[in-house]
Amino acid sequence: MMDGENMELVGVTHVLDAVTFWAQNVKDDQAIDNIRKALADKCPTAPRVLGTPSPQKIYGAVFSEDSCWYRCKVLQQTDHFHVSYIDYGNTEFVSRSALVELPGDLQAPCLAKKYKFQGFNVSTDQDSAHFLQVKAFLQNLIYGKKVPLPEASAGSACPNLDIFDQSPLSMKEKSKATAQHAANLMKKTMDQELVEENQRLKAERETQRREDQLRDSLSELQKLKEETANYAKEAERWKVERNTLQNQSEQLETDLQVAKQEVQALRGQLKKKEKQVEKLLDSAVAERFCRLAEGVDSLRGLRERNPGNMDSDSLTESINIVINNSISAPVAMEKLEPAWRDYSLAQEKLKACQTKEQLGDLIDNRNKVRGVLTATVESFLQEAECLPVRQRMDKLEEVSSSLSAEFGPASMEGDVGEQAFEQYSQWRTQRSQLTSSVRDGTDKALQALCTWSENIGKFFCLSANTVVGVNDIVDGVNELLKQAENNVAKELDCPLSVGEQNNHETKAVSNAFHKVMQHIQSEQSLLRDIMEKYLLNTKFKGEMLQWQNASPTPDSLFSVKKRIRSLRAQLRWRQVEEASLEEAEDFDLTEILKKKEEIAETRKTLFHEIGQERKEYMKLSALAEGCCPELPLLYPEADIHSHMSSGGLVVKSLDRDLFDAEPMKELSGRRPLVCTEFQGQRVILKGYTVNEEAEARVLERTTQFHRTRTQRESQTDTGMLPLLALFFGKSDPLAYVMVPYFPNGSLWAVQAAKPLTASETVKVMRGVARGLQALHAAGVTHASLNPNNVFVLHRHQGMVGDYDFIKTPVQRAVDSGMVAGSISLVAPELRQTQGTPPTPACDMYSYGCLLFWLNAPGFNGDLDSGSRLALDISGVTLEDKLQALLSKLLVCVGRLTAAETLADDYFLSDQ
């Protein structure tokens, strides 16, 4: 045994083969714990390995057996990565998704070393039973245990390096002796453990034998217990059955006594009934005739209500109206669709044309197919005008309502078959025959009874001679009464109307009803199509008549532009004259004021002409989008494309120098803002410094915002601030966005001056939600919803303001202005991961924070400290519906959309 100074205590982590294993120095236990904690903390969010990994670099990998992270090196890359866990010595194959990059503080040397018993040879056949047996023995002997080993026997812990036989000869001999000593020591230990193992196995076998004997005894005892229990259950069952039979016998005796008593009682009742029958026989004939008379009276009323005209019921009349008076599609209607298709194709080719050289042929082709379409439209309109479409629509609606009221709603799913009307007709014929047969039988039976009654009158008249004998009076009278009673009752029970038959679920009637309703809906669809096509083609005909003798030109636009240029020159000249008067030595205030009036009048006229220019552009754009798509290419100098692409927002005739503007220094911290007047309205010009690239971005984003709002202008409250114009400076690198000026109209200013009431807050925030709904429906994330960017009109109308058109959504979302009081308006997911693009859900979080701030302005929450992400409002008392709404907005996941928010009880209850 060597001194402890030359020994080291190691923990075996992996057995490689029969003589080689990996182990960690127990002194490194703390380092291993630190590495494990660091890996568990950093690896789940570490970047995945891209490309081909370096064999010299240390990575992190998920071990398949425990799903924990360990350091490794990549030995080989195929479909998977063959990695070696450098702190333990084992290897395995992992996928790319289980491999991540590690930071520099985890690129430390490996903590596992390879050890080998010197003097032993490893079999080349590592799959042999002997090799596997020896390896398993070594695995059971030392794996997971702490073993003292000589320090000199340790090799390098780095894979792919030959750590053996690399020392000088003298060192090799010393290492060999040391290894031999360690091997002998290990052999003694192994022998001792084998003896102990044999003794343990012998004791275990003896214990197992005794346990088997005890188990068998317990099993026999359990069987005896089960048999005893079964016998007890059987005896109990017999006892219960005996008691049951005894009880049944007693009950039968009791029932027999009761039955005897009932029989005696029935005999007494029968005697009483016999006496009653004798009394009733005296009045039986009278009662029989009375019942028959009542039936005949009811039958008389039924025949009056249903005289038997089967063609008069509502379903039959409806079928006749729908089938016989239907309107067919006009003949020219079939030609409309291909004519319109050819015309639309010709128009699309014109829109797609890029060169003027091709334009002539395309226009000729378009005019040719337009002529065909015009003729087809004219024929269709002439035919359609002769059809009573409106009257037919009203009649079908009347029939449909009448049938629905009688039969209920019709199911349009599936087809009841083309034979429905024929089957209904056959059923009606059969029913008519049945009804006629029943009525004839009733009439004959009653007529026979009348004949018998006449004979009675003749027989009992003593003053007149008669041939009627007694037999004529008595014979068959009961049969006559019975026949009359039966026929009257049969006719009363016979259904006489379609409604009654439908109530009895007659299939033929049901199918006929659904079939006629399908015909009604089919014809209504055709009539609506005719009416829509009539309106569309009437409009087309009007346009064609307008441009029948002349093609549209931008001449009016050019005239307006010419007047604008002249007015711009006049304005500049008069501004120069004003400056000269103000700088003159002989200062003449009267002349200066006169000149200012002239400038104001010129500016007013100029802005009016710019308004006319926009109207002309709107007319030309409508023509270019409709019947004359060639206009932009025919007249490129008119620049119609620019107006169309921006939705009419860009106004090139405007320039900063045209306005008499006042700088708004208090609001110009982020960009230059000026307040001025345009076409009788106070406006703000927001200046954006732009280069060529930024100018394109501003144009794209402002157009997107503008189009989103204008598409909803039909609504009374769009919830979005209007953009009035966009123009680019001619003398400075600035883009100017014109918006309305609302003095102290921001939500921040309103709250500072006079906070909104609860009911006003509901109305204002409903408008803001509508604005967000419009933006989100257009695929736009606002990302800048804050108190300075929400506007309030008349304390009841809320609007979403425009945002910084230079910044990206990511930049806007984390801007320093995204606060309300002490509340951060930045969504949790954006604060948790920087650079994450904002989504409409982020806007809804900001919206929820604003709504909470308006109802709890004194809240002092701080979202930037602590572990909370979403706003915690549990300590604030709020109205129940508001509390419920905020609980669905101020959450990390699953927030309400703008549309869902508007449908919440908080907003619906205030309408």
How far is residue 301's CA from residue 306's CA, in Å, rounded to a whole number? 9
pLDDT, position 124: 61
CATH 2.30.30.40 fits 4-166, yes or no: no
User: Minimal CA–CA distance to 148: which of 110, 192, 178?
Assistant: 178
How far is residue 745's CA from residue 794's CA, in Å, rounded to a whole number? 9
Q: Parse the chain into domains and list their residue ranges.
A: 4-166, 310-327+388-445+492-549, 331-386, 745-911
pLDDT, position 4: 44
Kindly report the length of the chain: 911
Radius of gyration of the chain (CA): 51
Sorted by sequence, the CB contacts under 8 Å of residue 346 that are 6+ apart come out as 362, 365, 366, 369, 370
Residue type, 553: T
Residue type, 4: G
The partner residues of 687 in beta bridges, in order of sequence, read 736
Q: Coil, helix or strand for 25?
A: strand
* CA dihedral (480, 485, 486, 491) positive or negative: positive
> Is 780 within 8 Å of 712 (Cβ atoms)?
no
pLDDT, position 155: 41
How far is residue 897's CA from residue 911's CA, in Å, rounded to a whole number? 20
Q: Are strands 91-94 and 81-84 parallel, antiparallel or unpaired?
A: antiparallel
* CA dihedral (286, 292, 298, 304) positive or negative: negative
* 327 burial via Cβ count (<10 Å: 0-12, 13-18, 19+): middle
What percentage of the chain has pLDDT greater than the value 70?
A: 83
> Is 151 within 8 Å of 19 (Cβ atoms)?
no
Q: Do domains 4-166 and 745-911 have the same CATH topology?
A: no
Which tokens in the block code for residue 499? 């409604």
User: Minimal CA–CA distance to 848: which of 829, 813, 823, 876?
Assistant: 823
Residue type, 837: P
Region of residue 594 (phi > 0: left; psi between -120 and 50: alpha; otherwise: beta): alpha
Which tokens in the block code for residue 747? 């939500």
> Is 521 within 8 Å of 415 (Cβ atoms)?
no
Question: Torsions phi, psi of 736, nearest 5?
Answer: -115, 125
How far is residue 768's CA from residue 550's CA, in Å, rounded to a whole number? 48
SS3 content of the chain, % helix, strand, coil (to 5): 60, 10, 30
How far is residue 21's CA from residue 138's CA, in Å, rounded to a whole number? 9
User: Minimal CA–CA distance to 558: which of 646, 454, 653, 486?
Assistant: 653
Which tokens in the block code for residue 903? 């449908």
pLDDT, position 816: 87
How far is residue 765's CA from residue 761's CA, in Å, rounded to a whole number? 6
User: Minimal CA–CA distance to 315: which of 524, 518, 513, 523?
Assistant: 513
Residue type, 291: R
> Is 726 within 8 Å of 738 (Cβ atoms)?
yes
For the chain, residues with pLDDT lower than 70 are 1-6, 119-131, 133-134, 151-194, 197, 274-285, 305-313, 410-430, 432-433, 464, 472-474, 494-506, 508, 548-550, 667-670, 713-716, 861-869, 910-911
Q: Which position has the token pair 């002309």?
A: 616
- 662 membership: H or E segment, kind and range: strand 662-663
pLDDT, position 474: 67
Q: What is the largest CA-CA distance in the chain?
A: 171
Return the exposure string of 806-825: e unless at least 16 CB atoms fall within 10 Å of the residue's CB, then b. beebeebbebeebbbbebbb
> Is 159 within 8 Å of 86 (Cβ atoms)?
yes
How far is residue 674's CA from residue 328's CA, in Å, rounded to a whole number? 65
Q: Coil, helix or strand for 187?
A: helix
Return the exposure string of 460-472: e unless at least 16 CB atoms fall within 10 Å of the residue's CB, then b. eeeeeeeeeeeeb
Which tokens in the block code for residue 91? 């290897």
Which tokens in the block code for residue 70? 């360990």
Q: Which position has the token pair 């028959």?
A: 292
Long-range contacts of 247-256 (CB under 8 A, 24+ apart): none
Count the Cβ atoms, other than its own, within 10 Å of residue 449.
19
DSSP 678: E
What percentage of the chain has pLDDT greater than the value 90?
A: 37
> Is 505 within 8 Å of 495 (Cβ atoms)?
no
What DSSP line would sit under 201-258, residue for residue? HHHHHHHHHHHHHHHHHHHHHHHHHHHHHHHHHHHHHHHHHHHHHHHHHHHHHHHHHH
How far is residue 177's CA from residue 175's CA, in Å, rounded to a whole number? 5
pLDDT, position 164: 41
* 833 burial via Cβ count (<10 Å: 0-12, 13-18, 19+): exposed
pLDDT, position 638: 92
pTM exceeds 0.75 for this model: no
Sorted by sequence, the CB contacts under 8 Å of residue 564 that are 6+ apart come out as 606, 609, 610, 613, 653
> Is 787 within 8 Å of 850 (Cβ atoms)?
yes
> Is 116 within 8 Å of 20 (Cβ atoms)?
yes
Residue 292 to residues 283, 301, 474, Cα–Cα distance (Å): 14, 14, 19
Question: Torsions phi, psi of 328, nearest 5?
Answer: -95, 160
User: What CATH superfamily classification does 745-911 receive?
Assistant: Transferase(Phosphotransferase) domain 1 (1.10.510.10)
Region of residue 8 (phi > 0: left; psi between -120 and 50: alpha; otherwise: beta): beta
Q: Which position has the token pair 């930071």?
A: 103
